[in-house]
Structures are given as C-alpha cells and as structure tokens.
A and B are shown apart, each in its own frame.
Chain A
C-alpha cells in the first residue's frame, strides 16, 4: 500500500507524538484479548482505536498539518479510483488484477437517496473512516475504494438493495466479519459494500434436535456462547471466531479446527435463505435432516464466496456439548512421525478424536516471540514438530484411559519425544492459543505470503522443505495446519512484500500442488488472490460450467466481481 506508507512517513516527520503504526499495533496487541476472541477481533478494534488516536493527536499537534495529510490522502485516493496499476504493485500476488469492468455504473446521489429510503435513513455509511476499515482486508494486503457501505437489517432490505443495484448495474461486495485471507470480502474498486453484520438475530433453537436457525450476520463466537448455555456447540471452530460471521463462514465453506470430527459445512448446514443478484429471495431454510426433493441448491451457495447470492439466514445442525475434553501438546522429531501418530490416533482414539493439528519449529518460535503471555509447554528442549491432539467424549474416565494408553504406546515406540496433557480448561486454552495465534504472529512479524493447500499427507512437508531451499535466508518459511485433514498452511514471512521473493514462490507453489492433484485453496477460498489460479486445481470444462452457472444466477455479474472465477472465462461466456 504505497500511499499509506508515504502518508505515515509524513506523519512521522511532523509529529513527534506519532510513532510508527506497526509498533503501536504491537503495543496494543499486547493487551490481553478476552477469553477466546483472540487475534481477530481485538486486532481490528485496536487498529481502529489506534487510527482514531493518531487522528486526534494530529489535530492537537498542528491544524494545518492535518489539512495537508488529508489533502494527500484525498489525492492518492483519486489515483486509486482511476484504477491505475501502480496501486496494485503492492499486492503480494502481482498476477494482474483485472481492470474495472466498464459496464458497472458509479453511484450517484439518486442512488444514495433510494438506499436511504429503503433502509429508513440508517445503515447508509459514507463516512470515510468507517469506509476505510471496510475497504481494507484483515491482512492489510488489499484495499478497495468503495464510497458506500450499506447495512441492511432484514432480508427484505437486502432484496430491495440487490434488485436496485442489478437494475442500475452497480457492483456489490457482500461483507460479513471481513476476515477473509484471500481478499474476498473487500471491494476491488468502488463496489458497494453490503455488510450483513446488522442481521444478527438468533431466530430459533430446537433443544431436542440441536437445529439452530439464525441470521447470517451472527458472529460465530456469539453463537458458540448461546449454544454453550443450551448444552450444544457449533460444528466449526476457527481462530477468527471473535469476528467472523456465520454467513461468511458458509459462503466460504469454512473448515477450521473441528472438521476432522464434525465434517464440513456441506454436511451440517440444513438450510439457507439466499438473495439472488436480482433481488429474488430463495427460501431454502429447511430444518430437515433428510430432504431429497430435486436439486439441492444450497450446496451451490456454500463456498461460492458471495458470487452467486447473498446468504441471509442459516439453519445449521449443532452437535451436543460433550463434557470430557482432553488436549495433549506433543513433540515429534520428524514429519514421518507426525504422520504415523495421525494414523495411530485415528485407530487408537477412534471416535473420541476431535482435532489433530501440527506446527513446525518455525511456527512455534514465531508465536512465542511475537505474542505475549504464551508459555512454551515443552521448554526443556526445541523440537522440530509439535502436534496438538484433542479428544472429546461423554465419559471422562473412558477418554482419559484411551488417551493415556495411546500416548504411552506412542512414547514407547519412539513416535513422540515429549508431550504434556492439559490438566484443566485454562491449560487447554493456552495450548490452543499457541496454535490459533500463528496467523496473528505472522501479521505482527511483517508481510506474509499465505498459502492454504490440500496435499497428500505423505508429500505435504516436502513442499515446505523445497520452499526453504528456494528462499534460503531471504524469508522465514513457516508451516502449520490441519494435518488431520491433509491441509497445510504454508506461510512465507518477510519484513516487506518483495516481488523478487514472490517470483520465487509463485507459480512454483501452485504448480507443485497441481502436480500432486492437490488443492490450491483447501479452506480459505479463492477470493481475489487466487481468481486467476483456478485452473491449477480444476479442469477447463469444470471452470466453464462454473461460469455458466454464474451467468444464470448473476447475468450482470454484479455480485462480488473480479473474484472466484477468472475474468477471462467469464467474458468468454458473454
């Protein structure tokens, strides 16, 4: 983000009080976040606070200076809306961002008054500061230049908005918690942001079946707290739970830490209410476990990242909360042992296994260095690999016995070199904080090139080692992920984004993955980052059918443009 660094350099020059944005961030991040809303929410709100803080300090320092900074920002913002390529050079993936689609209109005052009428005067956001936030993604890698954000409260409002935008050919971006890691939830140009966050009501919960019906803007962690009271849990769990919304989770078919046990959202989502591009409301909000009546359309929307319709209501099957949860933090010498432990865990722990995660030594070091208040559970020596195994069951004694037998055997056979078992919930949370804190630690360490790959487990770590060879000392290659699901999170951490480093990573990573018939995006989705990379994991025919479906459901292409599908395929359709 060239213009941002230029501005911050100016700020540093003139005002002694304003320190570097990043160090402020680190200072604020050291404040303990609340129970389990770790990284994501706290980070966002502290950044906002910091921005507000800087702004206010600016005013007190020099009034005229403030004017000039704003002037510079405005000037650069104009550059952006002109769609000049220079802005995009800062994006980690220099794969060309398509030009702004000329068929899209730009908003005018008539549009604003219409939206004001539909939303009853509230929920029409044009304030620059709020838009700044909504225009920037969590990784601070991408920034759009939308001038308008709408916050509908009912499905009816969403429908009216989309109907209008479709007729005006105004592009829109559906947005939830804005925690996308592939630039999927922010505008590329001036698309209107439709933020579903105000639709956050829980509509019903059946205590017998565990079926929850709620609006798409409910924050995942809030749903978890609600269900906790009722003796149930959400079938998914991820580090972003404090900020991400269920609509977004569903639109991206989020995986997370418990996929191993509860399966993917394609299985747990029973029904959806979706609004199509032309405002048609599709009521598929069934609460039935079994319903084989025609084509199961909701699966199209699960994982389509808002490009086929906006999810407004969700009905999801939730598993009962089981009392006995055990967590073991283990150490292995090599990757082969990690795989063998996975096999052993699946057979010996069987039905009680609920999570299997791994971190390599670089990931562990990074987390312990960058984040405050974390202890190394195995301080006596450094280990090459760490594995987190969680069991969930209904009987404490039964589970403990199984777990201890499994661990005893693993140690005896040399698969494990060391490990600890959490003795209470606090210890368990601190182990989880280590694993869930890696993305945040990477954010604090500088720039991250993030890859989320599905690979055959035997081959997975070979990629990491090859990347280390390719990059040498130029970057820190950090690997962690859902080993139990064959999902590697490969992250290359550098001080700054650097095209030379990027050239060494891409397209090598994608080609390597493609050769193994792996997925270039296991759970993060395609978003903007990988829109032109679809062919690495999908055949041409498949992508063409995807484009055909997009054409049927969104003929004007206003929903989340430039994302998911490559523009070349879409233009060839029309």
Chain B
C-alpha cells in the first residue's frame, strides 16, 4: 500500500521567536527553519510501517514556498521514496491545505494519510481532521500507537486524550495524526542523504489541482504575551488576605 505523509516547514523548535516590529507576524527571515517535529514523527511511523513490509511506498508532501524542498530533502534523507511539493508562496490556512490534500489523495490513492497532530507555528490542530472530513475518511488523532492488521484493512490506534488513552479501530483508508509519544524519529544518515539527491520531487501548483486558495480568516495582529510580573514576597498571612481581597479581588 502507499502512505502519504504531510510535512510542514516551520521555524525550528529550538529558536527563540520574535514578533515583527509591525506586529503582522513572527520574524521568519534569517531564522533557522526545520521540519515540524510532529511531522517528523509521522514520517518515522510511515517508514517503520514500510520497513515491516506492510507498505510499498512512502510519499512525503509539503505545501509552501520554494524552500519547502529543503524540508522534503530531509524527508527523503530519512527514507521517503519520493516527494511532492505544491508550491504556493503566500499564507496558507488549514482549510486550503486540506483541500489541496483532498485533490492529491484523489490522484495518488494512498491507503493511509499521516500527519503531525499540529504544526508548532500556528498550533491549529485542524488540518488532519479537515482532510478526513473532506474525504469522508475515518480519522484517529493524537496517535500514540498505531497497529495495522494482517491484511492492511484495519488500523488500531491508541489516542492520547485528556482522560488517558482511547483505543480506536479504523477501516483503511484513514487519516491518522501523530502525537509525541508515538516514536522517536531517526537521524538522516549519510548514505541516505546521498541517495536522497537522486529521488524525485514532483512540483505542482494549487491551480494544477484545481484548488483556489482563499480564506475567511485574516490575521489582524500578532503580539507577544504580556511580560510576567515579578512575584512579591509578603511578610504575613494578614497581608496575603488583604492583597487577595483588595488587589487581586479573588476572595
């Protein structure tokens, strides 16, 4: 079977982000960009499924500006067989991404679509769910364990939910989004990095897929959270009660 994995190019997790002076967004120029950590986990899971003999091909997909090819090269270096880059230089919201994926899935017909549960830049946690909705496919989000049955017909997925773990059984084809504890992604080894150079990255545009990018959302302003106020050491319980009552007004 074929597995499609969505990977997003985001600001590196370890970078200290800064808001642009005009408050229109986060500073991304001259800042280290990498593959979204949850997407790495999704790709790792796909590769493990392939290594266990259950899948024939792992295809990495990324949507965004020209530099997305760097992220796709990382994916190929980890072991993906080929990649698709849907080039679009502007801002993308989850619904547009979901529509593009629907078009791609219709063309590629994978049995499994893996995504990270959320991207660390917008934290939307919407794309996987929207794609499943558009495709009318079953979905299991926040996966911490994925087990496929003998015939690749059913996936049993453990989900990390607020109350603990929930186990779902899904008929394939399905959408699964990955959570942190699913696996530990592999490093890109040199032999694989060399091999990745010859792997194919197919280029498409949203027009090729008949998708119109528009959004009903508009980011008005991005600001930093308010500075944390220094704490105060009080000298007595009476003082504490007084402050709670009169200043904080919580009692």
Q: Which residues of A are in contact with B by a Cβ distance under 8 Å?
A: 228-229, 323-325, 328-330, 375, 377-378, 396, 400, 404, 407-408, 411, 416, 418-427, 429
CB of A348, distance to nearest CB on chain B (Å): 15
Residues of B within 8 A of A427 (CB): 187
Q: Which of B15, B35, B193, B197 contacts A421 (CB 8 A)?
A: B193
CB of B218, distance to nearest CB on chain A (Å): 30
What are 26 of the A-B contact pairs (CB < 8 Å)?
A228-B16, A323-B30, A323-B32, A324-B32, A377-B187, A378-B189, A404-B194, A404-B197, A407-B190, A408-B194, A411-B194, A418-B191, A419-B189, A419-B190, A420-B188, A421-B77, A421-B188, A423-B34, A423-B78, A424-B12, A424-B32, A424-B37, A425-B15, A425-B32, A426-B12, A429-B14
Residues of A within 8 A of B78 (CB): 423
CB of B34, distance to nearest CB on chain A (Å): 4
A404 touches B193 (CB 8 A): yes
Residues of B within 8 A of A330 (CB): 190
A438 to B227, CA, bound (A): 38
Residues of A within 8 A of B31 (CB): 323
- Please tell me if B52 contacts chain A, counting CB pairs below 8 Å: no
Residues of B within 8 A of A418 (CB): 189-191
A325 to B13, CA, bound (A): 15
How many of chain B's residues touch chain A, expressed as a range? 20 to 34
Contacts between chains A and B (CB distance < 8 A), count: 68
Residues of A within 8 A of B70 (CB): 396, 400
| 10 extra interface residue pairs, beta carbon distance < 8 Å, beyond A328-B190, A375-B184, A421-B77 | A229-B16, A377-B187, A396-B70, A404-B194, A404-B197, A407-B194, A411-B190, A416-B190, A424-B34, A425-B15
Give the one of A418, A419, A423 with max B CB within 10 A. A423
CB of A407, distance to nearest CB on chain B (Å): 6
The proximity string for B residues 186-208 relative to A, scoring 1 for CB distances below 8 Å and 0 otherwise, is 01111101100100000000000
Q: Which residues of B are in contact with A by a Cβ distance under 8 Å?
A: 12-16, 30-32, 34-35, 37, 40, 70, 74, 77-78, 184, 187-191, 193-194, 197
CB of B176, distance to nearest CB on chain A (Å): 23
A420 touches B32 (CB 8 A): no
A396 to B194, CA, bound (A): 18
> Do A426 and B13 form a contact, CB below 8 Å, given A323-B30, A323-B31, A375-B184?
yes
CB of B57, distance to nearest CB on chain A (Å): 22
Residues of B within 8 A of A229 (CB): 16
> Do A423 and B74 form a contact, CB below 8 Å, given A377-B187, A407-B193?
yes
Query: Which residue of the partner chain B has the closest CB to A408?
Result: B194
Give the one of B12, B16, B77, B187 with max A CB within 10 A. B187
CB of A436, distance to nearest CB on chain B (Å): 16
A400 to B74, CA, bound (A): 12
A411 touches B13 (CB 8 A): no
CB of B38, distance to nearest CB on chain A (Å): 13
Q: Which of B34, B37, B77, B191 contacts A411 (CB 8 A)?
A: B191
A378 to B74, CA, bound (A): 17
A396 to B37, CA, bound (A): 20
Residues of A within 8 A of B34 (CB): 423-425
Residues of A within 8 A of B40 (CB): 423
Residues of B within 8 A of A396 (CB): 70
Q: Which of A324, A420, A426, A429 contacts B189 (CB 8 A)?
A: A420
Query: Which residue of the partner chain A has the closest CB to B194?
Result: A408
A423 touches B15 (CB 8 A): no
CB of A232, distance to nearest CB on chain B (Å): 14
CB of B48, distance to nearest CB on chain A (Å): 15
Residues of A within 8 A of B194 (CB): 404, 407-408, 411
A537 to B120, CA, bound (A): 54
Q: Which of B14, B30, B35 contacts A423 (CB 8 A)?
A: B35
A562 to B28, CA, bound (A): 54
CB of A111, distance to nearest CB on chain B (Å): 34
A425 touches B190 (CB 8 A): no
Query: Which residue of the partner chain B has the closest CB to A425?
Result: B14
B12 touches A425 (CB 8 A): yes
B30 touches A424 (CB 8 A): no
Residues of B within 8 A of A424 (CB): 12-14, 32, 34-35, 37
A400 to B190, CA, bound (A): 13
A424 to B14, CA, bound (A): 8
Residues of B within 8 A of A377 (CB): 187
Residues of A within 8 A of B191 (CB): 411, 418
A420 touches B187 (CB 8 A): yes
Give the one of B16, B32, B184 with max A CB within 10 A. B32
CB of A198, distance to nearest CB on chain B (Å): 21
CB of B173, distance to nearest CB on chain A (Å): 29
CB of B73, distance to nearest CB on chain A (Å): 9
A328 to B193, CA, bound (A): 12
Residues of B within 8 A of A400 (CB): 70
